[in-house]
């Protein structure tokens, strides 16, 4: 109707999601304001495209990934003194395509390399999302380079791996005309940043801050000699020199590291530390390294800047033996990993500003060990993505030395700052490192001054300076000599047993069984074989009290070759609980930790610094003794263990720990304790399946689990850690068909292999597993820490909790960890069980 008032509509603007920035992002932001063109803020990677170079499909896939990961659609805004990240609903994205086919074929490689370097170092002109660039350099009709550059505000190297894996899956699906079905992400980077801010506000970082303040106290300037002074205006250019590690050196290093219970990372770092000590003529050596920063399984597929840097400080005063430095390095790395949650930007800076223009000590020298994950090939439908070495966007540090695994072997590379070093100097550095690495692997008893080191022309031989960390001693500790296998007599026989059980060629007389990788199963094997050989049984509790060849020799009253006279044999206590209640650590102000049938992991935990908890293991089985659980249900077995617990610790609170089926037993113990009014502060378990989880999997999932188990067991066989007969013994079909019984009757084998892989505990474990299979787990409240190893089912369709969703009534924290039987050098991208356990304990009130 004319003249009627017109309605006015006002649409309230939609508030965009905002999250706090992390300390790392905030530090990067300030660096960006000071130097907008700094190339070191880029993260560069590249892949080869082999097949149909379908640009529209590739661009569509990348747009889907930008939509999937919020951090790629995020902009950063200062709000007062703080920085926030604001997630936009969308972000425009196009691929830059450079066609090199017009060039002569002989010139295309050089052009691609030049353009790749330019792209890696090119700054992001504007910080508008997406903070990601894709350039395709087309070399031929069916061959191209895909360059991925992200800003460090939005990603890291792990994130690039996630993006490449999801890109291949998405392209494959689009090519086939279907959805990618990547699955919904459990959280986004902004959720993680908000959680971290709460963690800081609640004082979660205080224990780590206290550790690093103590660890870095008195740190002075450390840097290696440069070819020229630092320029007044550094370019931050970067370059990389590398060469293959000779296979003979690599195999020698791996064998020696394994023999001494050291990780490949620790051995490589100790060799690098020895080199820096000789080259820089300093005793107080500071090297940094990186950790993924993705402790929770939910973070593994999230794109964002999770990576963190930790400091590794070593003391080379007194010209120690390499073995001593290696032992110290293992401790240093272990401690640093326990406190790796503190952002690098919050580490205490005690060093005075440098007057020579060089980087600060914490930003000078870095060391990494990288596996071949970023170089794996992926099927992307019409084409394949094949990884190859990245190009340096810029030098974040003076030197960054890393060992990287390739399909053709290991390569040692060094990214360096050309403002400071000539390429020839870095090549010399790699040669010196390989020489020290090889020499140390052939004899760890050498002092650092004995390791090969040829200084650069015109440089005087290294003279160590006094260390501010520890005063030099006049005499280095003496190592107990290693005793080779094959000597006559009981002492040699005992050493043979240790070597056989631990799969080593030699074992030092003072080596700790559990530090060398021993666990409860291997301990049972050792004790059973020792009883058969020497006619006397000693208990696992006694082995724990004297966990070395020398200690065991004393228990048996025998003398090792070239050893000091043995101590009088120890006599086992008559009290039946002496072997049932094993007190690994008697003192401590924290909540008592109670393990079920596990000594190896808890022993290693008890030796970590900062552990202030009594630790006890409860056991109802030991080789040579009848066990009392045959035919019992899980509830009754748990009650038997609780009878022992009340002897050891009459009242709570408790922290309970169990592995695999022993974890299920610990769960029922926790349930009964809580029902009785006791406090169970936390249940900690490794690879603990819900009793019905396997039955709930579909056929495809069950076959996936079987194949994963087969791969693990076959890898154990290839590594020499189990025989082929033992491998087959894990599977029920040969047992059901009577193959092993027939082979034994024919004299082809002497014993039927154990189905559990542990013949000394076969009957006990089978009884416990039968109880587990009939156990109806009831809901139980309370926190749970569940750790899972790489062989456990993971991915789309599987529950990260291994079936405990809906049964565990309290919060469940899930961590991916290294397999408990992983050899040194294996799965080093993951933390150990005891490291995660200790980290959670430190963060728990």
> C-alpha 540: how far from its chain's center?
29
pLDDT of res. 541: 64
Comparing 509 with 845, which gets the higher pLDDT? 509
**Residue with tokens 């050498």, as numbered in its chain:** 446
Is the domain of 170 the same as that of 317? no
Are the CB atoms for 510 and 548 separated by under 8 Å? yes
Q: What is the rounded end-to-end Cα distance, in angstroms, of the chain?
A: 72
Phi-psi region of 252 (alpha: psi -120 to 50; beta: other; left: phi over 0): alpha
Q: Alpha-carbon distance 293 to 341, whole Å? A: 7
Residues 75 and 124: their CA atoms lie apart, in Å, by 13
pLDDT tens digits along 464-483: 333 334 333 223 322 333 33
Encode 39-53: b = buried (16+ Cβ within 10 Å), e = exposed.
Answer: bbbbbbbbbbbbeeb
Q: What is the mean pLDDT of the chain?
A: 81
- Sheet strands side by side (includes 593-596): 581-585, 615-618, 593-596, 654-659, 680-686, 784-788, 812-816
Question: 111 lies in a domain?
Answer: yes
What residue numbers bound the domain in which 413 lies? 214-350+359-450
Q: Does residue 150 belong to any structural domain of this protein?
A: yes
Q: Is the pLDDT of residue 8 over 60?
A: no
* Interval 696-755: pLDDT, tens: 877 666 666 666 655 555 555 555 555 544 544 444 444 444 444 444 444 544 554 444
Among the residue ranges 234-238, 388-392, 651-655, the one predicted with the least confidence is 388-392
Q: How far is CA 25 from CA 148, 296, 787, 802, in A?
A: 20, 20, 29, 34
pLDDT of residue 498: 84
Q: Which among 434, 450, 466 is the end of a domain?
A: 450
Most confident of 123-132, 444-453, 630-639: 444-453
What is the pLDDT at residue 473?
A: 29
Q: Which residue has the tokens 């590398």?
A: 242
State whether 553 and 602 are in the same domain. no
Tell me, what's the pLDDT at 441? 94
Query: Residue 163 pLDDT more than 90?
Result: yes
3-class DSSP state for residue 778? coil
For the chain, what's the residue count? 845
Give the pLDDT band (50/70/90) at residue 509.
confident
Helices and strands, number each (H, E), in the chain: 25, 24
What is the 3-class SS of 511-543, one letter each residue? CCCCCCCCCHHHHHHHHHHHHHHHCCCCCHHHH
Cis check: omega of the bond before 767, within 30 degrees of 0: no
Mean pLDDT across the stretch 676-681?
Answer: 92
Mean pLDDT of 601-630: 81
Q: Which of 210-224, 313-327, 535-549, 809-823 is predicted least confidently?
A: 535-549
Give CA–CA dist 274/814, Å, rounded.
Answer: 38
Assess whether 219 and 159 both reside in one domain. Answer: no
Indicate if 332 and 446 belong to the same structural domain: yes
**Interatomic CA distance for residues 321 and 661, integer angstroms:** 43
The pLDDT of 333-353, averaged and rounded, is: 84
Q: Whose CA is closest to 519, among 338, 659, 629?
A: 659
pLDDT of residue 440: 95
pLDDT digits (tens, 9 = 90+) for 424-453: 999 999 999 999 999 999 999 999 999 999
381: left (phi over 0), alpha (psi -120 to 50) or beta: left
Question: 574-608: string of b/e by CB count within 10 Å (b at 16+)?
Answer: eeeeebbbbebbeeeebbbbbbbbbbbbbbbbbbb
Q: How far apart are CA 353 and CA 6, in angstroms?
A: 69
**pLDDT of amino acid 442:** 92
Quote the strand ranges of 112-160, DSSP E: 132-140, 143-151
Please give the Cα distance from 347 to 527 (Å, whole number).
Answer: 47
Please tell me whether residues 557 and 579 are part of one structural domain.
no
CA distances to 565, 680, 777 from 666, in Å = 43, 11, 12
Q: Hunting for tokens 């060849």 — which residue is that?
A: 549
Cα 378 from chain centre:
24
Q: What pLDDT, on the 0 to 100 scale, is given for residue 615?
A: 92
Res 521: pLDDT: 63
Lowest-pLDDT range of 20-34, 196-210, 411-425:
196-210
Q: Phi first, then psi: give them for residue 651, nearest 5 degrees.
A: -135, 155
CATH number at residue 511: 1.10.1200.10
Q: H or E stretch including 269? A: helix 264-280
- Distance in angstroms (rounded) separating the CA atoms of residues 157 and 44: 8
Helix 247-259 and helix 264-280, axial crossing angle in degrees, nearest 10: 110
pLDDT of 544 strictly over 80: no
The C-alpha atoms of residue 286 and residue 225 are separated, in whole angstroms, by: 15
456 domain residue, yes or no:
no
- Does pLDDT of 679 surpass 90? yes
Cα separation, 567 vs 556, in Å, equals 9
793 lies in a domain?
yes
Q: Residue 433 maps to which CATH number?
A: 3.30.559.30
Tokens 């070399």 sit on residue: 139
Residue 460 has pLDDT above 50, yes or no: no
What's the pLDDT at 50?
Answer: 92
Do the beta carbons of residue 820 and residue 601 sit within 8 Å? yes
What pLDDT digit, counting tens, does each position of 780-839 carry? 888 999 999 887 877 767 888 888 888 888 888 899 888 776 666 667 778 889 889 988
- The whole-number average pLDDT for the span 525-539 is 74
Phi, psi of 836 (to 5 degrees): -65, -45
Q: What is the CATH number of the domain that holds 128?
A: 3.30.559.10
Longest distance between any two alpha carbons in the chain, whole Å: 117
Say if residue 96 is in the same domain as residue 177: yes
Residue 314 has pLDDT above 70, yes or no: yes
* Residues in contact with 565: Cβ distance below 8 Å, sequence separation at least 6, in sequence order: 559
Same domain, 594 and 564: no
Q: What is the pTM of this model?
A: 0.56
CA atoms within 13 A on the CB side of 796: 6
3-state SS assignment for residue 139:
strand
pLDDT of residue 115 exceeding 80, the answer is yes
The highest-confidence range among 142-151, 260-269, 389-398, by mean pLDDT, is: 142-151
Q: Read off the pLDDT of each residue in 246-261 and give the average, rounded to a whole number.
A: 89
* pLDDT higher at 555 or 337: 337
Instruction: Tell me how many domains the chain contains.
Output: 4
Residues 319 and 428 in one domain: yes
Q: pLDDT at residue 101 above 90?
A: yes
pLDDT of residue 599: 80
CB-based burial of residue 401 (10 Å sphere; 0-12 exposed, 13-18 middle, 19+ buried)?
buried
Q: What is the pLDDT of residues 34-50, one digit of tens each?
A: 888 888 899 998 889 99
Last residue of a domain, one of 450, 466, 492: 450
Looking at the fold, whether 258 and 308 belong to one and the same domain comes out as yes
Cβ(191)–Cβ(19) under 8 Å? yes
Which DSSP state fits 321? B
Within-domain flag for 51:
yes
Q: Are residues 395 and 533 in the same domain?
A: no
Task: Tell me if 1 is assigned to some domain.
Answer: no
Count the Cβ atoms, other than its own, within 10 Å of residue 546. Answer: 17
pLDDT at 271: 97
Decide if 159 is inside a domain.
yes
Confidence category of residue 179, pLDDT binned at 50, 70, 90: confident
Flag whether 201 is in a domain: no
Q: What angle do the packed helices 55-68 and 157-176 form, to 10 degrees?
A: 120
Co-location of 166 and 96 in the same domain:
yes
Q: Examine the domain organization and report whether 433 and 544 are in the same domain.
A: no
Considering 572, 587, 621, which residue would you say is the last residue of a domain? 572
The pLDDT of residue 711 is: 59
Where is pLDDT greater, at 606 or 823?
A: 606
pLDDT at 626: 64
């Amino acid at each position: 109707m004319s003249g009627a008032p017109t309605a006015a509509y006002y649409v309230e603007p939609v508030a965009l999601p905002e999250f706090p920035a992390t300390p790392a992002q905030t530090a990067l932001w300030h660096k960006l304001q000071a130097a907008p063109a700094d190339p070191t803020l880029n993260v560069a990677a590249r892949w080869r495209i082999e097949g149909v170079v379908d640009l529209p499909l590739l661009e569509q896939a990348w747009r889907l990934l930008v939509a999937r990961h919020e951090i790629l659609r995020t902009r950063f805004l200062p709000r007062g003194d703080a920085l926030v990240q604001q997630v936009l609903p969308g972000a425009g994205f196009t691929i830059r395509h450079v066609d090199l086919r017009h060039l002569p074929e002989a010139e295309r490689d050089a052009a691609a390399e030049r353009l790749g370097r330019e792209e890696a170092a090119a700054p992001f002109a504007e910080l508008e999302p997406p903070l990601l660039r894709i350039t395709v350099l087309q070399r031929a009709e069916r061959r191209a380079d895909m360059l991925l550059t992200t800003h460090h505000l939005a990603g890291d190297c792990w994130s690039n791996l996630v993006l490449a894996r999801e890109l291949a899956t998405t392209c494959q699906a689009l090519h086939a005309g279907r959805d990618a079905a990547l699955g919904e992400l459990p959280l986004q980077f902004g959720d993680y940043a908000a959680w971290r801010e709460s963690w800081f506000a609640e004082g979660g970082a205080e224990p780590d801050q206290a550790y690093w303040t103590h660890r870095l106290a008195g740190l002075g300037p450390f840097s290696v000699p440069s070819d020229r002074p630092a320029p007044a205006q550094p370019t931050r250019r970067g370059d990389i020199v590398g060469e293959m590690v000779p296979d003979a050196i690599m195999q020698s290093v791996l064998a020696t590291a394994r023999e001494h219970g050291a990780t490949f990372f620790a051995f490589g770092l100790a060799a690098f530390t020895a080199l820096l000590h000789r080259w820089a003529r300093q005793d107080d050596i500071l090297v940094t390294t990186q950790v993924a920063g993705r402790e929770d399984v939910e973070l593994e597929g999230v794109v964002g800047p999770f990576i963190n840097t930790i400091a590794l400080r070593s003391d080379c005063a007194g010209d120690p033996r390499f073995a001593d430095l290696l032992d110290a390095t293992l401790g240093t790395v272990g401690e640093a990993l326990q406190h790796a949650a503190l952002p690098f930007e919050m580490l205490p800076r005690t060093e005075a500003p440098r007057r020579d223009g060089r980087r600060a000590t914490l930003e000078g020298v870095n060391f990494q060990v990288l596996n071949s994950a970023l170089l794996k090939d992926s099927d992307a439908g019409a084409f394949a993505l094949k990884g190859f070495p990245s190009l340096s966007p810029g030098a974040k540090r003076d030197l960054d030395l890393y060992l990287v695994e390739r399909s053709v072997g290991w390569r040692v590379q060094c990214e360096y700052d050309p403002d400071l070093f000539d390429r020839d100097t870095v090549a010399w550095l790699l040669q010196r490192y390989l020489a020290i690495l090889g020499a140390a692997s052939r004899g760890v008893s050498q002092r650092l001054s004995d390791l090969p080191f040829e200084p650069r022309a015109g440089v005087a031989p290294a003279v160590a300076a006094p260390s501010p960390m520890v005063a030099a001693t006049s005499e280095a500790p003496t190592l107990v000599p290693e005793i080779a296998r094959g000597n006559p007599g009981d002492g040699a026989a005992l050493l043979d047993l240790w070597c056989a059980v631990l799969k080593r060629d030699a074992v030092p007389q003072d080596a700790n069984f559990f530090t060398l990788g021993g666990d409860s199963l291997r301990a049972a094997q050792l004790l059973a074989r020792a009883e058969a050989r020497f006619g006397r049984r000693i208990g696992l509790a006694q082995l724990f009290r004297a966990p070395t060849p020398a200690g065991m020799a004393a228990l048996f009253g025998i003398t090792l070759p070239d050893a000091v006279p043995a101590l009088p044999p120890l006599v086992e206590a008559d009290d039946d609980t002496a072997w049932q209640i094993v007190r690994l650590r008697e003192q401590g102000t924290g909540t008592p930790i109670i393990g079920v049938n596990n000594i190896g992991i808890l022993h290693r935990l008890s030796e970590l610094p900062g552990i202030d908890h009594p630790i006890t293991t409860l056991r109802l089985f030991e080789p040579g003794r009848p066990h009392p659980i045959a035919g019992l249900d899980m509830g009754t077995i748990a009650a038997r263990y609780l009878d022992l617990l009340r002897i050891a610790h009459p009242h709570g609170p408790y922290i309970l720990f169990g592995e695999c089926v022993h974890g299920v037993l610990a769960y029922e113990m926790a349930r009964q304790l809580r029902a009785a009014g006791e406090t169970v502060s936390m249940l900690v378990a490794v690879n603990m399946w819900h009793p019905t989880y396997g039955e709930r999997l579909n056929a495809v999932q069950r076959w996936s689990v079987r194949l994963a188990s087969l791969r693990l067991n076959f890898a154990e066989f290839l590594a020499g850690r189990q025989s082929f007969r033992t491998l087959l013994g894990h599977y029920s079909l040969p047992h059901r068909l009577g193959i092993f019984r027939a082979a034994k009757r024919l004299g082809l084998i002497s014993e039927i292999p154990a189905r559990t892989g542990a013949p000394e505990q076969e009957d006990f474990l089978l009884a416990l597993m039968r109880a587990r299979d009939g156990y109806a787990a009831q809901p139980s409240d309370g926190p749970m820490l569940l750790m899972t190893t790489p062989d456990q089912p993971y991915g789309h369709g599987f529950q990260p909790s291994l079936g405990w969703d809906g049964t565990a009534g309290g919060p469940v924290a899930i961590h991916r960890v290294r397999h408990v039987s992983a050899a040194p050098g294996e799965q080093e991208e993951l933390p150990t069980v005891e490291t995660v356990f200790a980290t959670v304990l430190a963060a728990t009130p």
